[in-house]
């Protein structure tokens, strides 16, 4: 085993196997989706439900999902509802994920949309709510759904916007529903479409709004988008599209004037969860969006207060996105929803989690927060919800005197804050910026705080009392709260939100204005700026021109909610896993390095002590290359100390291959080489007693000849005084040129430096391959003499050449090779005479030509 | 050998040299030890004296200075206090440093890392000096290890020089004020510098893949350009594939998938999720590539 490990190929294999195994583990962790689970079965049904007012029958497009895991156990059910203008197909991915978590999942297309029949009644109790109850009936009959009692399935409902409202309304009308998780939906549809942010009472929750009785300002752009998506029909455009006639008529009348009719107020009230909150007993997870000018945070707060008032568990979450775009935090909201259902439908025994969570404002140099995890701020409970104490407030004085502002005729030009329904488009245009757009001159009254001296996290709605004086018959105003940088440098309008105030009478009035609910870290040096404006593009505005006098009232201060939130610890499991993974890999790498790096210990088999004084023994050496070409076969010879051995042969005889094997650069296919009794392997220590110049110089062109020699010697790690640098520089004989860069050298100069490099340290065995290439005749003679002298010092020289005369004059012994085989070996004179048949005139050339069969 | 006196001098010098000292038991020459061959300092000098090394590092130091000077001279295109990333670049030292890192992380840094790590073995093979090092002898594994340490070290120094130079250049031209975010908030300078060091650290880890890929290719070829260009090309291909959303989860194991995750260092607090995944992915790829590089180099026939 140990012996096996010594082979470098085996060591590499061990290292590679370890690395691959670790990588496989790492990948399984990095890509959870590679670990596939059971599949999900889909059943598509048509479910008949209550007829329309005109008697036409209606059936719904329904799909049921269940994990196909072979089990027929009864499971709790979840109903998934889609948003306005959507259909059940939008929910397939979410339904499949929930099904894999062990739920029977029912999705359906609401009446008036997609493949379902009927008309849109805006979640009216007699239609859409009754439909939802019919679907609960359907679940109660299924034998794969868990039942509380006969006819009462264990079921939860979740959905966004229109689908969120049906969850709330269904839970209000049907006590069989066991848990709900509505997202970005309304409390009071009238308040959402005709928002009124003039407060009648002190706020109890962070984003609370208890508006005065007066209907607010028509949210015309959002209302248009909302109703437009319901009336759009392909091919045959009609005014009402698939809306029920009563809804269509009531909306049309209000949209034309901007003032709600009693009919639409009644209709919207019936479609509002506000009417049933006291009847909801299903634990409720409320997911409300901060980037939502359609159903703002105040709607979620109103739902939370109303449901929790009777002790029903409520968890309130303000995530980053909403109808205006932004980060929808889908993964986090899905995880929260699943945990909610696991707690209240599966009753998995986890403790109730009713903490209030608010996603922190992005605080990245790159604008929108990057990476997977948003920063979440949390409090033990939402202030003012259920048993929790009402929200604390702090007053921050505002500065600014009485100001007069103008509302232009027709409300034009108008301030632009948000462009509802175009959230994503606007985000793209503004590159995620929340910078306030410039105010239109003369339309805005400004009031500002002193810069904050320490950071303050604003969670919820600020309020302010203002006095308004006007000759106009009524008042329409818009309020914004800006975060202003040091010196007024940058004004940011968080989430581009604005609130509206509408008073039915002019004259002189004092009003408490609730400002947009936000989550924002106010940095030291930053101030808050209140801007009261007469216009906003997104809302209906009075047609006549008018002026308002605006000044601070009451204590002249901003009242800020003070919610003690702390950041939820971010999920460190990933970091820990990564640290463990990286640690494991580094350990594996270190182990591999140790195994690989351990020099093959010098062991007995690699040494033949009897040959310790023999510079070179070659035994049965052979080399085949891939493809079958045999460069060397069965070559054996021996070089004794003090010899100058000529390795002779025509081009392609295999001389250079033998020398490469001698240096450990390539491995013999058969046989072996022993230098001073030590078997040659790549990097064998005995190579340090050998100097070589094989197949041309290998010099660093950017260094001088001298620097090449010095660095080469330093790379051997041996003491500088053993280099005999002066001696070998004399051999090179370059004079002052030795300090020029090698790239300027001629071929001969390079060869001379390379010979000098081979002689560094005066090695006991000097190997030179065609050393005289590129040298002129006097230099060739010098080399010859130097080699002879070198051998006289007891050292040994092996020189290969195809120049016969050269070898004849230099060498004491020769080895002749031809086509990879040894054809003659021995002292020069013996080789010459052995052939010659007594021919006294024999010389090496004729002998050589005879040996290789050229004569 | 140009004069007779020199020639005679050679022979005298050779004859006066003492006979070779007796060899060590492992057969090596006296004073030789496998653990002392190709010391890091020597390899560093060999690489440092190359014009290429000096030019690249100097270029990385000067590039931010030139960029900052251009920004400072030509401010028409820049909205003061604007919220575009480029506008923020002139907001101060840290903003500028981040801009430079952002602008260079996709290609410039990749090329620099590939250059140092791809060329180190391949250029030795190209100069034919590799065989002399191996025959001197430097063990094959040790040669790779020393070259790996020095080339990765040079790449790392490039990775540090660029943002540090950008930080100084930005400070000179735009002041050393705190970093500003597009949302109007600020990050104090000390905190921002800490975050910047996280960025450099993550870039270093994520560049391990690029470095190892280039090193792996460099062991396979005698052409330095092939190793460097090949590594850069593969990185670009991986980046392009990463933009093909149809590939789905496969993209998550592309080596460059998390290459931009360093931006998470400027969230508050730092988001580690993608950086930790990117880090482990990069180390994993590096481990495989380096193991393959070792396997190839330990078993190959060195012909050049």
Which residues have C-beta within 8 Å of that of residue B1, sequence separation ≥ 6?
Answer: A731, A733, A752, A778, A779, A782, B7, B10
Q: What is the predicted pLDDT for the residue at B175? A: 86
Segment 759-778 of chain A within 8 Å of chain B by CB: 761-764, 778
CB contact under 8 A, B27 and A676: yes
Phi, psi (5° rounding) for residue B22?
-70, 150
Mean of the per-residue pLDDT values for chain A? 86
Q: Chain A contact for B242, CB < 8 A? A: no
pLDDT tops 70 at residue A265? yes
pLDDT tops 70 at residue A380? yes
Collect all residues of chain B within an 8 Å Cβ-Cβ radius of residue A19: 284, 287-288, 290-291
Written as six digits, the tokens of A848 are 């050589």
Comparing alpha-carbon positions, the chain B residue that sits nearest to A752 is B1
CB contact under 8 A, B268 and A363: yes
CB contact under 8 A, B14 and A793: yes
Comparing alpha-carbon positions, the chain B residue that sits nearest to A625 is B301
Segment 103-122 of chain B within 8 Å of chain A by CB: none
Q: Chain A contact for B129, CB < 8 A? A: yes
Higher pLDDT among residues B264 and A188, named by residue? A188
The predicted-structure confidence for B243-272, as pLDDT tens digits, reads as follows 887 777 778 788 898 888 888 887 766 777
- Three-state helix/strand/coil letters over A739-796: HCEHHHCCHHHHHHHHHHHHHCCCCCEEEEECCCCCCCHHHHHHHHHHHHHHHHCCCE
Q: What is the predicted pLDDT for the residue at A694? A: 92
pLDDT tops 90 at residue B46? yes
Higher pLDDT among residues A352 and A439, named by residue? A352
Contact predicate A226/A189, CB 8 Å: no
Which residues have C-beta within 8 Å of that of residue A463, sequence separation ≥ 6?
Answer: A199, A203, A512, A513, A514, A515, A558, A559
Collect all residues of chain A within an 8 Å Cβ-Cβ radius of residue B283: 26, 581-582, 585-586
Collect all residues of chain A within an 8 Å Cβ-Cβ radius of residue B253: 27, 30-31
For residue A459, name the pLDDT band (cuts at 50, 70, 90): very high
- CB-CB: which of A582, A703, A724 is closest to B17? A724
Give the C-alpha distances (Å, rounded to integers) separating A126 from A122, A170, A267, B10: 11, 11, 12, 114
Contact predicate A57/A51, CB 8 Å: yes
The predicted-structure confidence for A684-698, as pLDDT tens digits, reads as follows 999 999 999 998 899
- Indicate the burial class of A232 (C-beta count within 10 angstroms; 0-12, 13-18, 19 or more): exposed
For residue A400, name the pLDDT band (cuts at 50, 70, 90): very high
Collect all residues of chain A within an 8 Å Cβ-Cβ radius of residue B193: none
Expressed in angstroms, the distance from the first to the final Cα of chain B is: 29
Smallest CA-to-CA distance from A382 within A333, A321, A318, A329 is with A318
How many helices and strands in chain B, by DSSP H and E?
A: 11, 2
- Radius of gyration from C-alpha coordinates of chain B: 24
* Over residues A486-508, mean pLDDT: 87
The predicted-structure confidence for A307-327, as pLDDT tens digits, reads as follows 999 899 999 999 988 988 777
Q: How far apart are CA A463 and CA A484, in angstroms?
A: 18
Q: CA-based angle B84:B86:B91, to the nearest 5? A: 95
pLDDT tops 90 at residue A531? yes
Least confident of A369-373, A771-775, A839-843, B100-104: A369-373
- CB-CB: which of A9, A23, A711 is closest to B284? A23
CB contact under 8 A, A367 and B183: yes
CA quadruple A162, A168, A172, A178: dihedral positive or negative?
Answer: positive
- Radius of gyration from C-alpha coordinates of chain A: 45
Q: Chain A contact for B287, CB < 8 A? A: yes
Q: Which of A173-187, A360-374, A589-603, B24-38 has the highest mean pLDDT?
A: A173-187
Q: Chain B contact for A595, CB < 8 A? A: no
Q: How far is B61 from chain A (nearest CA, A)?
A: 23
- Lookup result for tokens 């006098």: A549
Q: How far apart are CA A194 and CA A216, in angstroms?
A: 5
CA quadruple A87, A89, A93, A96: dihedral positive or negative?
Answer: positive
Q: Chain A contact for B139, CB < 8 A? A: yes
Q: What is the predicted pLDDT for the residue at A464? A: 96
Q: What is the predicted pLDDT for the residue at A185? A: 96
Q: Got the DSSP string for A617-684? A: EEEEEEEE-TTS-EEEEEEEEEE-TT-EEEEE--TTSSHHHHHHHHTTSS--SEEEEEETTEEP-TT-
Give pTM, 2 decimals: 0.67
How many helices and strands in chain A, by DSSP H and E?
A: 21, 35
Q: What is the predicted pLDDT for the residue at B49? A: 93
Give the C-alpha distances (Å, rounded to integers) separating A800 from A633, A679, A691, A766, A805: 18, 21, 14, 11, 12
Q: What is the predicted pLDDT for the residue at A375? A: 77
* Over residues B218-227, mean pLDDT: 93
Comparing alpha-carbon positions, the chain B residue that sits nearest to A728 is B10
For residue B3, name the pLDDT band (cuts at 50, 70, 90): very low
Give the C-alpha distances (Å, rounded to integers) separating B244 from A837, B238, B281: 81, 10, 19
Written as six digits, the tokens of A301 are 């707060």
* Over residues A386-399, mean pLDDT: 92
Q: How far is CA A103 from the centre of its chain?
A: 30
Q: Chain B contact for A10, CB < 8 A? A: no
pLDDT tops 60 at residue A427? no
pLDDT tops 90 at residue A429? no
CB contact under 8 A, B135 and A589: no
pLDDT tops 70 at residue A677? yes
Q: What is the predicted pLDDT for the residue at A425? A: 47
- CB-CB: which of B20, B32, B135 is closest to A685? B32
pLDDT tops 50 at residue A571? yes
Q: What is the predicted pLDDT for the residue at B247? A: 77
Q: How far apart are CA A194 and CA A217, in angstroms?
A: 5
In 10 A of CB A620, how many CB atoms?
12
Higher pLDDT among residues A3 and A312, named by residue? A312
Q: How far is A487 from chain B (nearest CA, A)?
A: 12
Collect all residues of chain B within an 8 Å Cβ-Cβ radius of residue A716: 32, 37, 136, 138
Q: What is the predicted pLDDT for the residue at A602? A: 44
For residue A430, name the pLDDT band (cuts at 50, 70, 90): very low
3-state SS class at A717: coil
Higher pLDDT among residues A833 and A212, named by residue? A212
Q: Got the DSSP string for A226-253? A: HHHHHH--SSS--SSTTB-HHHHHHHHH
Contact predicate B34/B66, CB 8 Å: no
Percent of chain B whose predicted confidence (pLDDT) is above 70: 89
For residue A371, name the pLDDT band (cuts at 50, 70, 90): low
Q: What is the predicted pLDDT for the residue at A476? A: 95
Percent of chain A whose predicted confidence (pLDDT) is above 70: 86
Contact predicate A635/A621, CB 8 Å: yes
Alpha helices in A323-445 (DSSP H): 330-344, 423-429
Q: How far apart are CA A349 and CA A461, in angstroms?
A: 36
Comparing alpha-carbon positions, the chain B residue that sits nearest to A14 is B291
* Over residues A178-205, mean pLDDT: 94
CB contact under 8 A, B142 and A597: yes
3-state SS class at A183: strand
* Over residues A639-645, mean pLDDT: 93
Mean of the per-residue pLDDT values for chain B? 86
Q: What is the predicted pLDDT for the residue at A636? A: 95
pLDDT tops 50 at residue A3? no
pLDDT tops 50 at residue A599? no
Written as six digits, the tokens of B4 are 């007779």
Written as six digits, the tokens of A754 are 């390379």
ipTM: 0.90
**b/e for A506-528, b at 16 or more Cβ within 10 A?**
beeeebbbbbbbbbbbbbebbbb
pLDDT tops 50 at residue B102? yes
Coarse DSSP helix, strand, coil percentages of chain B, rounded to the nearest 5 percent: 75, 0, 25
Q: Chain B contact for A588, CB < 8 A? A: yes
pLDDT tops 90 at residue A88? yes
Q: What is the predicted pLDDT for the residue at A491? A: 82
Q: Chain B contact for A442, CB < 8 A? A: no
């Amino acid at each position: 085993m140990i012996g096996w490990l010594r082979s470098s190929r085996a060591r590499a294999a061990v290292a590679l196997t370890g690395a691959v195994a670790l990588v496989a583990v790492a990948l399984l962790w990095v890509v959870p989706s590679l670990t596939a689970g059971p599949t999900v079965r889909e059943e598509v049904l048509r479910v008949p439900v209550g007829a329309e007012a005109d008697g036409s029958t209606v059936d719904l497009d329904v799909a049921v999902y269940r994990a196909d895991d072979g089990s027929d156990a009864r499971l709790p059910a979840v109903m998934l509802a889609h948003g306005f203008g959507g259909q059940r197909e939008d929910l397939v991915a979410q339904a499949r994920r929930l099904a894999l978590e062990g739920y029977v999942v029912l999705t359906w297309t609401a009446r008036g949309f997609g493949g379902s029949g009927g008309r849109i009644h805006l979640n009216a109790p007699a239609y859409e709510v009754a439909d939802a109850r019919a679907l609960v009936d359907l679940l109660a009959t299924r034998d794969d759904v868990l039942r509380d009692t006969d006819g009462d399935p264990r079921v939860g409902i979740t959905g966004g916007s229109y689908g969120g409202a049906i969850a709330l309304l269904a839970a209000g009308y049907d006590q069989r529903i066991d848990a709900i998780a509505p997202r970005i939906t309304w409390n009071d549809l009238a308040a959402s479409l005709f928002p009124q942010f003039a407060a009648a009472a002190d706020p109890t929750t962070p984003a609370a709004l208890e508006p005065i009785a007066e209907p607010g300002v028509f949210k015309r752009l959002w209302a248009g988008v909302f109703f437009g998506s319901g009336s759009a029909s392909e091919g045959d455009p009609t005014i009402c599209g698939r809306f029920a006639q009563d809804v269509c008529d009531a909306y049309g009348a209000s949209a034309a004037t901007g003032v709600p009719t009693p009919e639409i107020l009644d209709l919207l009230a019936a479609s509002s969860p506000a009417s049933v909150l006291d009847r909801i007993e299903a634990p409720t997870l409320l997911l409300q969006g901060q980037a939502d000018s359609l159903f703002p945070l105040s709607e979620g707060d109103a739902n939370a207060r109303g449901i929790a008032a009777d002790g029903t568990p409520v968890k309130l979450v303000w995530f980053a996105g909403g109808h205006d775009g932004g980060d929808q935090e889908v993964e986090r909201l899905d995880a929260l929803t699943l945990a909610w259902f696991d707690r209240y439908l599966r009753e998995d025994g986890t403790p109730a989690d009713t903490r209030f969570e608010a996603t922190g404002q992005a605080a990245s140099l790159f604008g929108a927060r990057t990476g997977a995890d948003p920063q979440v701020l949390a409090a033990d409970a939402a202030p003012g919800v259920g048993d929790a104490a009402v929200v604390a407030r702090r007053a921050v004085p505002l500065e600014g005197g009485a100001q007069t502002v103008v509302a232009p005729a027709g409300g034009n030009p108008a301030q632009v804050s948000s462009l509802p329904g175009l959230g994503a488009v606007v985000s793209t245009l503004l590159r995620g910026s929340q910078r306030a757009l410039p105010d239109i001159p003369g339309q805005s009254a400004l009031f500002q705080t002193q810069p904050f001296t320490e950071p303050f996290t604003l969670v919820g709605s600020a309020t302010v009392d203002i006095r308004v004086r006007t000759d106009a018959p009524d008042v329409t105003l818009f309020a914004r709260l800006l975060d202003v940088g040091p010196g007024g440098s940058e004004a940011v309008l968080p989430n581009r939100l604005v609130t509206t105030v509408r008073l039915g009478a002019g004259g002189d009035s004092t009003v408490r204005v609730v400002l947009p609910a936000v989550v924002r870290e106010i940095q030291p040096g930053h101030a808050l700026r209140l801007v009261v404006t007469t216009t906003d593009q997104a809302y209906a505005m009075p047609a006549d021109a008018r002026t308002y006098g605006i000044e601070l009232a009451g204590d002249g201060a901003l009242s800020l909610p003070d919610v003690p939130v702390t950041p939820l610890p971010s999920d460190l499991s990933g970091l820990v896993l990564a640290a463990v993974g990286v640690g494991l890999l580094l350990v594996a790498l270190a182990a591999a390095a140790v195994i690989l790096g351990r020099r093959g210990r010098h062991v007995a088999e690699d040494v033949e002590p009897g040959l310790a004084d023999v510079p070179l023994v070659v035994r049965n050496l052979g080399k085949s290359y891939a493809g079958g070409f045999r460069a060397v076969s069965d070559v054996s010879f021996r070089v004794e100390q003090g010899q100058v051995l000529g390795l002779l042969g025509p081009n392609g005889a295999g001389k250079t291959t033998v020398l490469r094997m001698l240096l450990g650069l390539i491995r013999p296919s058969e046989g072996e080489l022993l230098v001073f009794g030590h078997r040659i392997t790549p990097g064998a220590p005995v190579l340090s007693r050998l100097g070589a110049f094989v197949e041309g110089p290998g010099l660093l062109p950017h260094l001088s000849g001298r620097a090449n020699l010095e660095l080469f010697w330093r790379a051997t790690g041996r003491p500088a005084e053993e280099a005999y640098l002066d001696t070998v520089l004399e051999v090179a004989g370059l004079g002052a040129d030795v300090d020029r860069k090698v790239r300027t050298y001629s071929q001969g100069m390079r060869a001379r430096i390379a010979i000098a490099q081979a002689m560094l340290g005066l090695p006991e065995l000097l190997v030179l391959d065609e050393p005289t290439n590129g040298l002129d005749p006097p230099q060739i003679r010098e080399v010859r003499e130097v080699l002879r002298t070198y051998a006289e010092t007891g050292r040994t020289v092996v020189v290969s050449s195809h120049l016969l005369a050269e070898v004849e004059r230099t060498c004491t012994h020769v080895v002749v090779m031809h086509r990879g085989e040894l054809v003659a070996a021995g002292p020069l004179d013996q080789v010459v005479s052995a052939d010659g048949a007594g021919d006294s005139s024999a010389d090496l050339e004729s002998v050589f030509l005879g040996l290789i069969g050229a004569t | 050998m140009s004069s007779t006196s020199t020639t005679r001098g050679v022979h005298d010098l050779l004859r006066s040299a003492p006979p070779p000292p007796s060899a060590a038991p492992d057969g090596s020459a006296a004073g030789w030890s496998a653990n002392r061959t190709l010391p890091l300092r020597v390899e560093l000098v060999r690489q440092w004296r190359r014009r290429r090394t000096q030019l690249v590092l100097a270029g990385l130091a000067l590039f931010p200075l030139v960029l900052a000077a251009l920004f400072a001279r030509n401010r028409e295109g820049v909205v003061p206090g604007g919220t575009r990333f480029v506008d923020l670049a002139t907001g101060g030292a840290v903003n500028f440093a981040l801009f430079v890192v952002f602008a260079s992380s996709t290609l410039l840094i990749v090329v620099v890392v590939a250059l140092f790590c791809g060329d180190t073995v391949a250029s030795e093979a190209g100069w034919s000096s590799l065989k002399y090092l191996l025959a001197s002898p430097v063990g094959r594994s040790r040669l790779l290890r020393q070259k790996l340490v020095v080339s990765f070290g040079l790449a790392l120094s490039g990775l540090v020089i660029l943002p540090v130079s950008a930080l100084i250049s930005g400070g000179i031209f735009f002041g050393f004020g705190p970093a500003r975010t597009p949302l109007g908030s600020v990050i104090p300078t000390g905190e921002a510098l800490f975050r910047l060091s996280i960025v450099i650290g993550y870039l270093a880890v994520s560049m391990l893949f690029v470095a190892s890929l280039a090193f792996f290719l460099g062991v396979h070829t005698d052409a330095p350009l092939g190793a460097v260009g090949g590594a850069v090309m593969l990185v670009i291909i991986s980046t392009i594939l990463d933009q093909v959303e149809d590939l789905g989860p496969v993209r998550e194991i592309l080596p460059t998938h998390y290459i931009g995750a360093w931006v998470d260092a400027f969230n508050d607090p730092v988001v580690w999720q993608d950086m930790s995944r990117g880090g482990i992915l990069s180390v994993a790829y590096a481990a495989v590539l380096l193991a393959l590089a070792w396997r190839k180099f330990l078993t190959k026939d060195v012909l050049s």
